[in-house]
Amino acid sequence: MNRRYFLHYSAVTAAYLFSGCEERSGRDKNRPLPSSSSSPIPNASIAEAMTEKIMPFTRKLKVPNEIDFSQVKKAAFSAQKGQVNIFPDAPTEVLTFQGDLPNPTIRVKKGELFDLGFTNKLSEKTIIHWHGLIVPEKMDGHPKDAIATGETKHYHYRVNQSAGTFWYHTHPHGRTGKEIYHGLSGFYIIEDETERQLGLPNGEFELPLVIQDRRFDEKRQLFYKDPDVPQDNNGVMGDVILVNATPLPYHEVKTGKYRLRILNGSSVRTYRLAFDTIETFTLIGTDAGLLEEPEEVKSIIISVAERVDIIVDFKDQKIGDRVTLRTLGFKEASNLTLHPDYPPFSAQMDIMQFHVTENFGDTHIVPEKLIDIPRMKVSDAVRTRTITMEIIAGGIWTLDKKPFSLHRVDQRVKLGTTEIWELKNSVHMAHPFHMHGVRFQVLDRDGKISFPTDKGWKDTVIVMPFETVRIIVHFTMPGVFLYHCHILEHEDHSMMANLLVE
Ligand code: C2O
Ligand code: CU
Ligand code: CU
């Protein structure tokens, strides 16, 4: 029986997913390569080799430590190898910024200075990028500014944008996917006075959750691309879902409202998030800030690098109840088969569980009005640019058919102007399109699915297969910045370009 595909990745079956892949290290090199067509019968050898059972929802969620720039004036990171206990029976080799995973959450108030020394202790060049922050070119973390082994880069800038859930990750040329996969990312939260006055749940009622699907071998080690499977260049999918570096964790909650700041830190997988026994929850924010008004949803789609800020209310739960956060699968993202041994886009998978342990007289009210989002108008735009998403000969993912070149400037924009960017996807796969150095608004999309996240400030937007999405962008920061697909294997494989704002 083809176990992997018969599974619905539910709580019961997930227990079987944590074994190593016995077959992996000794994988038969003569094994026929899986075909690139969308064969419904995947190779089940890895699944068949699953032996050990590890129960889901038995490990506590790790809440990252915080570096709060209201309290510290300076921080230090170094990209380095480390070992963490993702599984109880053997340590896993990872990459970290301060020796452990999850990496710390950075918290900064609007107006404060950010100051961090970053040392590269890896064997290759790297650089940290602050995803979603609008900072000077030299502070942004473009791969052209990567530092060599042993060097230290000093980041120093004032945070000048409104509250939101951002993140940081390394961004070396051609190796971003591999480094994030092994651990080099974390949360970056900006707070401001407007948000504080809304009285949203905070402290223990506010949780950052990064969701990442990963693959492990029989020795509990991460493995990234499969050299035998060229489809991994279309995106690396895993069968083990980590939340804050823990597989299928649980978290104890009280019968009140929680603010969950969720980041999709995966390589390629898009999730459609929902709770099993709580029908609706409230979307309050997107990538780069709060929405104007909260929006009640039953599920929410989050593609790679996007963030959703939600409020979930446990008030109707009883002590002892368990609420599971899951993905319902998102087959619309692609009909391509990626690695045939791993759950496809359509897979339903559990993510984590909330254990209700205490009654709580919650007094939080989510205000009906959150912030003002001044709408940019089509008439504000000085021009429209079209960017196409395509795959060219050799299976290379590109923007405008041009593989990325580190120093080539692909677009020149006038500082202080507003433009419409028309993002045209000409392939059978959704792409999360990201721009550095700006935040933007979505004007419209010509596809069938509507995304409530389109209403907020964005820095990453999903463009569905064969869809055209129009965004409107105001350029306030001079310099060279990247724009790219945020499927990590696509950006590493050339689906990236440079923009000069002057
Ligand atoms: Cu998450 Cu080039 O960015
Ligand atoms: Cu970015
Ligand atoms: Cu892509």
Q: Does the beta carbon of 307 sit less than 6 angstroms from any atom of ligand 1?
A: no
Residue 218: CB atoms within 10 A of its CB come to 18
Pairwise CA distance, residues 63 & 374, whole Å? 34
End residue of a domain, out of 327, 358, 389: 358
Interstrand relation of 113-120 and 75-84 (parallel, antiparallel or unpaired): parallel
| 393 belongs to a structural domain | yes
15 belongs to a structural domain: no
* Co-location of 237 and 337 in the same domain: yes
Cα–Cα distance for residue pair 45/24, rounded to 1 Å: 9
Of the candidates 89, 38, 84, the one whose C-alpha atom is nearest the C-alpha of residue 64 is: 84
pLDDT of residue 54: 58
d(CA 134, CA 439): 8
Question: Is there a domain that residue 38 lies in?
Answer: no
Q: Give pLDDT, residue 364.
A: 87
**What was the pLDDT predicted at 490?**
97
Are 224 and 322 in a shared domain? yes
Cα 42 versus chain centre, distance: 27
- Centroid of ligand 1 to alpha carbon of 460 (angstroms): 9
Is residue 215 domain-shared with residue 185, that is, in the same domain?
Answer: no
State the distance between the two ends of the chain, measured CA to CA, in whole angstroms: 60
Residues, the chain, total?
502
Q: How far does residue 173's CA lie from ligand 1's centre (Å)?
A: 12
Examine residue 182 and state whether it is found in any structural domain, yes or no: yes
Same domain, yes or no, for 276 and 342?
A: yes
Contact 432, 467 (CB under 8 A): no
Of 435, 481, 475, whose CA–CA distance to 459 is shortest? 435
Residue 233 resides in a domain: yes
The answer to whether the CB of 431 is under 6 A from ligand 1 is no
Q: Where are the beta strands (DSSP E) in 124-265?
A: 128-131, 152-158, 164-170, 185-191, 206-214, 240-243, 246-247, 250-254, 257-264
From the CA of 482, give the closest atom in ligand 1.
2
My answer on whether 336 and 230 are in the same domain is: yes
- Ligand 1 contact via 129 beta carbon (within 6 Å): yes
142 and 225 part of one domain: no
Contact 208, 189 (CB under 8 A): yes
Q: Where are the alpha helices (DSSP H) in 106-230?
A: 137-140, 176-181, 193-196
Residue 28 in domain: no
pLDDT of the residue at 337: 85
Residues 6+ apart with CB under 8 A from 394: none
Q: What is the per-residue DSSP string for 24-55? A: HHT--TTSPPPPSS--SS---HHHHT------
Q: Which of 262, 256, 277, 252 is nearest to 201 (CA)?
A: 256
Residue closest by Cα to atom 3 of ligand 1: 131
Which are the contacts of 493, defined by CB distance < 8 A and separation ≥ 6? 233, 396, 397
Instruction: Report pTM.
Output: 0.91
Q: Which ligand minimizes its atom distance to the CA of 307?
A: 1
Answer yes or no: is the C-beta of 305 below 6 A from any ligand 1 atom.
yes
Per-residue pLDDT of the chain in tens (502 residues, 90 and over written 9)? 233 333 333 333 333 333 333 333 333 333 333 333 333 333 333 333 333 445 799 999 999 999 999 999 999 999 999 999 998 888 999 999 999 999 999 999 999 999 999 999 999 999 999 999 999 999 999 999 999 999 999 999 999 999 999 999 999 999 999 999 999 999 999 999 999 999 999 999 999 999 999 999 989 999 999 989 989 999 999 999 999 999 999 999 999 999 999 999 999 999 999 999 999 999 999 999 999 999 999 999 999 999 999 999 999 999 999 999 999 999 999 988 899 999 999 999 999 999 999 999 888 899 999 999 999 999 999 999 999 999 999 999 999 999 999 999 999 999 999 999 999 999 999 999 999 999 999 999 999 999 999 999 999 999 999 999 999 999 999 999 999 999 999 999 899 999 999 9
Residue that finishes a domain, picked among 329, 358, 387: 358
Q: Which of 196, 219, 251 is the endpoint of a domain?
A: 196
The response to whether residue 484 sits with its C-beta less than 6 Å from ligand 1 reads: yes
**Backbone torsions φ then ψ of 438, nearest 5 degrees:** -145, 170
Same domain, 297 and 324: yes
Whether residue 382 is found in the same domain as residue 353: no
Check whether residue 180 and residue 214 sit in a common domain: no
In sequence order, the 6+-apart residues with CB closer than 8 A to the CB of 260 are 207, 209, 309, 310, 311, 312
Count up the domains in the chain and report the number: 3
- Pocket flag, ligand 1, residue 59 (CB < 6 Å): no
* Ligand 1 touching residue 171 (CB < 6 A): yes
Q: How far is CA 397 from the centre of its chain?
A: 19
Question: By C-alpha distance, which of 430, 427, 433 is closest to 396?
Answer: 427
* Same domain? 306 vs 395: no
CATH of the domain at 468: 2.60.40.420
Q: What is the pLDDT of residue 335?
A: 86
Residue 472, in any domain of the structure: yes
Residue 482: nearest ligand to its CA? 1
Q: Pinpoint the alpha helices (H) of 336-494.
A: 488-492
Residue 368 covered by a domain:
no
Domain boundaries, position 154: 66-196
Report residue 406 as tokens: 């580190």
The dihedral region occupied by 476, where left means phi > 0, alpha psi between -120 and 50, and beta the remainder, is alpha
Q: Percent helix, strand, coil in the chain (nearest 5)?
A: 10, 40, 50
Q: Give the alpha-carbon dihedral of 397, 457, 499, 112, to 10 degrees.
A: -120
For residue 204, the 8-state DSSP code is G
- Are residues 492 and 472 part of one domain? yes
Shared domain for 209 and 270, answered yes or no, is yes
- For 109, the token pair is 């108030």
